[in-house]
Amino acid sequence: MYVFLNHIECQANWTVYNTSNSDLPNNIISVIKIDDTGSKWIGTLGGGLASFDENNWTIFNTNNSDIPQNSLSSIAINQNDNIWVGTFGMTGGGIAKFDGVNWVVYDTSSSDLPDYYVNALAVELNGDIWVGTNDGLAKILRKMGLLYLFSYRTQCIRGKLRLQVLFTEMQIHPLMKSMELHLL
């Protein structure tokens, strides 16, 4: 017996969440991460951070938490389920770590963070946090909770140095096209 199917139609079931039908604080979503429990961590542009566990929404913003800004560019979740958020804004920004109860903030006034505009966050296998900003690369050492500054900008020629970083499962590789440095 042979069965030939020349057309199969499948309709996906979509659930749409927005500010009209949920507690989502803003419809402009910049980043989404899912933690080990299945909770969704949603960064918005202007509405802060939202956590959604399929039943309940929890909103974190500058009015009810220590998050530095309500515009988020990045989220990273480390091995201890700490939520790291990168923020930015015209009047400041930085990084905030949330352990489920308390917030720890790293910004340009309280640490050596190169710039308040955080573009990217990544968690290394050993738990260290890499931070990409508009003015350089920084690393937060897990064991010490210290911010270590990688300053390539002092070596640049003719203005700003463009730094790209390749993250693999085992290593972090800085790639600098403007100075022809490629470490792999």
For the domain 29-151, what is the CATH code?
Answer: 2.130.10.10
Are the CB atoms for 137 and 130 separated by under 8 Å? yes
165 band by pLDDT with thresholds 50, 70 and 90: low
**Residue 157: pLDDT over 50:** no
- Domain positions in the chain: 29-151
Say how far apart CA 108 and CA 100 lie, in whole Å. 24
Q: What are phi and psi of 137, to 5 degrees?
A: -110, 135
**Residue 32: pLDDT over 90:** yes
| Tens digits of residue pLDDT in 134-155 | 888 888 887 765 656 554 444 4
